[in-house]
A and B are shown apart, each in its own frame.
With several copies, the nearest count.
Chain A
């Protein structure tokens, strides 16, 4: 629990942000050479690489689905990504996050276009400073686009927390650990579709309602950054094509 205050009297958080301000977010698309699609995100100090392999033959074969592609997500944290050295064996937390991230991204993918194949989404958290699942989902959407996989919409994601009794947008590590609650959401704006929603901590029903509003606005902001990144990436690709 917090002993020092995390939000100053004039509403400034311990990293200088306002209550509803996002950290600096930088997406890079197409950064890996051995994948079908990839993206890198720096989200404040959080740094994540995502690689997509597929659609490709399912292995082992009996896992293939007759009418659609099988999507798998693997969320892993590098041993040096957190304060204390982490064993590389996947923790129960990593297992759960792999599941909810897969379920957050699946509704966006036209899996029915690729029956009997697998799409594997590999997420490597190089440095973790809060909201890694949100950053991972947002970057993975871009990696899927980079892989040329048709999608219903991008999935944008962000978290709202309660810190010193106030709701704040885009929770970083210190706020997550010392704050009162954490509530990440993933959202497809064009579908009004909540594809991930989790919460832990204590909030009133009224705070829940306000959180949902903030999450929606935050997701739209991330969505805009994702679209900017795609535009920038394809502009570069195009101009380099023209040069060629």
Chain B
């Protein structure tokens, strides 16, 4: 039972520090940790990026595969986001165990990318109703030191933005790959996910692992914007997580804060990769 006492003590410390606007690692409540973005590290993938946020490390790879369209969208390609927790990323991950956390992570990142309409999936169609490109965006969680969602969302976004797609030509009954790589059909829109943790009555941007262990709940908010056009700024996804709650006023504050932080992160992404593909 001592294992459950430590978080209680830690939570008290973290809350007391936060009353004077401070955190255990010296950050202010709204600071992100240091962010390193490496583009194109997996050169066998059509697109790739590794993002290191504090100690949290996610490598995302984009691969194309020819497949069937969904019956209700016969003329559209498919973007598919999945997340794998590599067991060395945390002592708590067990190999081979399906994990609702991985499923939620993948689906939250997926919604941010998808709902922003940054990618025109109709351009991923090869033969209407028959064959389309499936664009896999796979997130490998390699080291977990807190705030997986934002790290994975950034890695997925950068991998996608760095990708080129293969050229396919229909020849009678078959499809031929020309070997050429084409630019991706991007719209110039960039969605950014920002996660705020609620601990006590404060909101913490970019929660660390230690903070996640004692939080009440988190709210992840994705804001999208087309290029520099601030008027195009909109929310495109939200997800409250974990078993505590926020008041309606806290939700509103969190959205406001997420908007500001999303602009910072979007600038960083723009400096690393061409957001128009």
Asked whether, in the complex, the Cβ of A199 is within 8 Å of the Cβ of B88, the reply is: no
Q: Which residues of A contact B65 (CB under 8 A)?
A: 84-85
In the assembled complex, A202 has its CB within 8 A of some CB on chain B: yes
Q: Which residues of A contact B45 (CB under 8 A)?
A: 80
Q: Which residues of A contact B (CB under 8 A)?
A: 32-35, 38, 45, 47, 49-53, 66-67, 71, 74, 76, 78-85, 88, 90, 92-93, 95-96, 98-100, 102-103, 106-107, 120, 122, 124, 126-129, 181, 183, 188, 191-205, 208-209, 212, 216
Q: Which residues of B contact A (CB under 8 A)?
A: 1, 4, 41-45, 48, 55, 59, 61-65, 71, 82, 84, 86-91, 95-96, 98, 100-101, 103-104, 106-107, 111, 114-117, 136, 138, 140, 142-145, 217, 219, 224, 233-252, 255-256, 259
Nearest B residue (CB) for A38: B88
Q: Which residues of A contact B237 (CB under 8 A)?
A: 199-200
Q: Which residues of B contact A107 (CB under 8 A)?
A: 243-245
**B interface majority secondary structure:** mixed
Asked whether, in the complex, the Cβ of A202 is within 8 Å of the Cβ of B115, the reply is: yes
Q: Which residues of B contact A181 (CB under 8 A)?
A: 115
Q: How far is the CA of A92 from the CA of B44 in the complex (A)?
A: 23
Given contacts A49-B142, A92-B103, contact A192 B252 (CB under 8 A): no
Asked whether, in the complex, the Cβ of B100 is within 8 Å of the Cβ of A99, the reply is: yes
Asked whether, in the complex, the Cβ of A202 is within 8 Å of the Cβ of B44, the reply is: no
Asked whether, in the complex, the Cβ of B239 is within 8 Å of the Cβ of A198, the reply is: yes
Q: How far is the CA of A107 from the CA of B198 in the complex (A)?
A: 14
Q: Which residues of B contact A53 (CB under 8 A)?
A: 87-88, 91
Q: How far is the CA of A47 from the CA of B248 in the complex (A)?
A: 29
Given contacts A66-B4, A95-B100, A194-B251, contact A35 B42 (CB under 8 A): no
Q: How far is the CA of A83 from the CA of B70 in the complex (A)?
A: 14
Q: Which residues of B contact A52 (CB under 8 A)?
A: 88
Asked whether, in the complex, the Cβ of A96 is within 8 Å of the Cβ of B235, the reply is: no
Known: A53-B87, A67-B1, A124-B86. 4 other contacts (CB 8 A): A78-B59, A124-B140, A126-B59, A200-B111
